[in-house]
Structure 1
Amino acid sequence: MSTPVTASADALHRAATRKAMLRLIPLMCLIYLLSYLDRTNVSIAKSQLAIDLGLSAAAYGFGAGIFFLSYALLEVPSNLAAHRFGPRRWIVRIAITWGALSAAMMFVRGETSFYVMRMLLGAAEAGLFPALMYMITLWFAQEDRSIAVGWVYTAPALALLIGNPVGGALMQLDGSFGLHGWQWMFLAEGVPSILVGVLLWFKLPERPHDARWLSKQEADLLTARAVSSGTGGGHDASRITLAMLKQALLKPFVTLIGAIYFFNQIAFIGLIFFTPAIVQQMHVKTPLLVGALSSAIGVGSVIGVLGVPRIQRWLQRDCLLLGLLTFGLIAGSVLFLLVPTLVVRIALLAILAFFGKGVLTLYWTIAMGRMQGFGAAAGLAFINMLGLIGAFVGPYAYGLAESATGKASSGFFVAILASVLGLVLVPLLPAALRRADAEASQSQRTSARVMTADSPVV
């Protein structure tokens, strides 16, 4: 008798999930795309900032990376605020403040102001990505989250694809109305973030029951299956204690995923910020052509974030796939250093982006299936915080390598070392995940016994 009912519920849930994907994911992608443009557009301005402001490679690398340091320090508190006030309100606040600060980057005058503005930009944007991930845990069942995360990750991939060519084109405005090209770029790419932030206030529902385009039955199903995936429960945000925070953050699998992510970000974020410089040192002269060739990392990133979730579903061995993708970063970096041909090197940039960006979807889908409520908000933010610290270290280490050798491609030695350290940690992850799953099963059995004991005898 229950089979037709279950089949009907499954069909309705699939339809509601498709509807939510079509309504929510484009908005999430748009705001994340703009955030990525505003945090990475400085890469295309590197050479002109050196000429106009006297920034050395090390100073540029430190300034590029310090964005992620302030972002990291405020990541957990920011996402707890998203849990307390609601992700929609917090995402809107983030978008408007970072858009204004991104546009204000046009007033940078030297090293100190460059560092200060990058730190403020990171502080303003802190919490955006984990707030988006937290929303996914409120809307989608576990089996749908890898696809949702993959689509969200297309946003930074597209930002890398279009950002460098668009930035290169804006740099061509150098001298118009007395402004440098990089000033035009910061202004033109900051203002849209403010406008989209206002749009999200009216168009982004927080939870399924807030969406006018869902029926009550559809909203009930989406919420129930998100809860049954281990994310719907949790603590009242007004009653969060230090013990609860420690419990959420100090799980071995959370620490391990964060540590592997840390090393990945050293390698990949450093590459993002130094790719235009690497391309320029391959005897490519004009900003527009540098931007166009640098977009190879965008091509690889798009293929990676769309392809890896599908490989994950087919392979169904997350830790093995994580190890293979991390090894791919090592092999691609070594090949780049060994092969001098321009065409091959541009192709290798795309391949490295496939590995470096595609692997990111794995971290979040592995983690989200083992977190709930407050634990999801705090744990996802903690993982992202560790990754952001790596994103600070990466550009700075790449900058130091270039300053020491005079070659931007020397940063690949940093990428190789960081990826090797990450690969060493991957074999430790399966045991930590088994432990988390066993603890979750034990907790469910205990809860079931308590409920049975408390049930009245009829």
Structure 2
Amino acid sequence: MIATRDTALDSAIGKARSRLLPFLVLMYVLAFIDRANVGFAKSVLQADTGLSDVAFAFGAGVFFVGYAIFEVPSNLLMYRFGARVWMSRIMVTWGIVSACTALVHDATSFYALRVLLGIAEAGFFPGIILFLSSWFPAKTRSQTMGAFYFGFPLALLLGSPVSGLLLDASNPFGLHPWQWLFVVEGLVASVVGVIAYFYLTDRPADARWLNDSQRHALSSALRNEDALKLAHGPSSVLAALRDPRVLFCSFIYFTVQISVYGVVFYLPTRIAGLTGGHVGTKVGLITAIPWIAAIAGTFVITRIADRVGHHRTFAAAMLTLAALGIAASAMTASLTLAVIAFCVAAVGFVSVQPLFWTLPTGYLGGAAAAGGIALINSIGNLGGFVAPNLKGLAERVVGSPEAGMLSLAVVGLIGAALLLAFKSASTQSAGSIDIDSTAALGEQRPSH
């Protein structure tokens, strides 16, 4: 009986992974391309609109203000209406707003559309994390999230040369190349959003593409895990929002995102400066190299972490690696050494993220998971607002172009220290479970 049940559960997980993950990765790729393409358009956008470096940095980062404010409400609405409806709504609206960035003509319009883009996309990423936790048991969740995170480097691997090609276009339909970039990439996201409404399935119990035994085995395993989480973690949205572990995770994720966006926003410009050219096809191809390294590194590291355990320690090591790579990228005038440094940084800050998410998803369940995951992501993503402004501030105060990237590296080291301190912080409340060993949840057998 147990062998039959385990077989049904394993086959259900395999079928869910093969059906859902490729589409979720596609959604993530499009989300990140629409979020980061402003970095590729930076030079030509500034030249055509007269935006200063300070105005661009503020506009690039202000996206995260609207995103953070609406993150928790959006994720609670997804919990209420389901991923199929809400993810479709998010993608359609953010695609339209992203395409409208082609209408930017001054700083005010740039700020307004970046804020609207953040509001439209709010809830997407925590919604995906919540969706994955409602489909995949803890014993498989780390590798599953690692596979989903391939969308991040893939977005930059594919988005870099595609954005470069679009910027090299010769005024299609009378548009400037940077306008064409926003229109094409935005409308593609809206089309995929419409498809998402018909393709996604909210929960295993609704999956017609699973047989009866598979639906029952997967639903039972997830239901038992959720009951265990609610018994040892916050049981309501308000409890989750006040939980010290959630707040601690939020600050950690904040430092991670500063590292991420400090590189994402400025990698194309940095490579262009070292090659003596503009941000086009050549730079797009070169900047794809670190994301290839990130895919390979994340694949290997998440599997080693699952086999050995100690996801928190692995996460701290990867964030340290990211900080060292960021610092090294600022200290060399060699294109080859800079690309190697960016490869090291990319492996670090991409692989740390699926490792990090095993911590909060290990003890948050139900509505508490919807609120807690959204809060962590909303506070964390404010790092995307802080990163370009912190970099610019450090450069102005110190009077050195290297100071900006070095300041981001210091933040990464602070985040690594917080990860190492997280275990003691997470055990302060009575009855808390060891969230550095989430596989224990996956070992719980469904009861009948």
The match for 1:13 is: 9
1:234 Cα deviation (Å)?
6.7
Matched residue of 1:312: which SS?
helix
Moved more, 144-153 or 16-25: 144-153
Task: Report the CA distance between 1:423 and its aligned residue.
Answer: 2.6
Equivalent position amino acid for 1:306 in 2: F
* CA offset digits 1:375-408 (Å, max 9, x no partner): 1111111110111111111122224445667876
Shift of 1:39: 0.7
Structure 2 matches for 1:46-445, cutoff 5 A? 46-230=42-226, 244-286=236-278, 287-401=280-394, 409-435=402-428, 438-439=431-432
Label 1:404 to 1:160 Cα distance change in 2 as closer, same or farther (>3 A).
farther
1:214 aligned partner, one-letter code: L
Aligned length: 431
Deviation of the 1:296 alpha carbon: 2.6
For 1:165 and 1:116, locate their aligned partners in 2 and report how far apart those are by CA, in whole Å.
28
User: Structure 1 51/330 Cα, relative in aligned 2: closer, same or farther at 3 Å?
Assistant: same
Shift of 1:174: 4.0
1:86-134 C-alpha deviation (Å, 9 max, x unpaired): 1221101001100111111111111110110011001000001111111
Between the aligned partners of 2:340 and 2:183, the Cα distance in structure 1 is 32
| Structure 2 letter corresponding to 1:324 | A
Give the AA of the match of 1:249.
Answer: L
Query: Structure 2 stretches of 5 or more lacking a match?
Result: 435-448
What is the Cα deviation at residue 261 of structure 1?
A: 1.0
Q: 1:399 to 1:168 in 2, by over 3 A?
A: farther
**CA distance in structure 1 between the partners assigned to 2:345 and 2:239 by the alignment:** 36
| TM-score using structure 2 length | 0.91
Unaligned runs of 5+ in 1: 236-241, 442-458
Following superposition, the deviation at residue 411 of structure 1 comes to: 2.8
Conserved 8 A contact 1:71-1:123: yes
Cα distance, 1:59 vs structure 2: 1.5
Is the CA contact 1:278–1:409 (under 8 Å) kept in the aligned structure 2? no
Mapped partners of 1:101, 1:176: distance in 2: 20
Distance of 1:224 and 1:17 partners within structure 2: 13
1:232 Cα deviation from its structure 2 partner: 8.7
Partners of 1:174 and 1:330 lie apart in 2 by 39
Cα distance in structure 1, aligned partners of 2:93 and 2:80: 19
Q: Deviations over 1:269-325 (max 9, x none)?
A: 121011111111113314111111122332233224323311211331122212211
Looking at structure 1, the residues matched to 160 and 401 of structure 2 have their Cα atoms a distance apart, in angstroms, of 17
Helix, strand or coil at the partner of 1:74:
helix
Are the structure 2 counterparts of residues 92 and 408 from structure 1 closer, same or farther at C-alpha, using a change threshold of 3 Å? farther
Partner of 1:439: helix, strand, or coil? coil
Q: Distance in 2 between matches of 1:280 and 1:424?
A: 33
The equivalent residue for 1:448 is: none
Paired residue secondary structure (1:214): coil
CA contact (8 A) 2:312 2:359 kept: no
Question: Which amino acid in structure 2 is aligned with residue 302 of structure 1?
Answer: I
> Please, which of 2, 22, 34 is the counterpart of residue 18 of structure 2?
22
Answer whether contact 2:229 2:364 (CA < 8 A) is retained. no
Give how far 1:440 is off.
5.3
Deviations 1:327-356 (A, max 9, x none): 212322332233332111111111101001
Determine helix, strand or coil for the equivalent of 1:258. Answer: helix
Q: CA RMSD in A?
A: 2.2
What TM-score do you get using the length of structure 1 for normalisation? Answer: 0.89
SS in 2 for 1:438: coil
Conservation of the 8 A alpha-carbon contact between 1:87 and 1:206: yes
Question: Does the aligned pair in 2 maintain the 1:402–1:409 contact within 8 Å?
Answer: yes
C-alpha distance 269-263 of structure 1, shift in aligned 2 (>3 A)? same
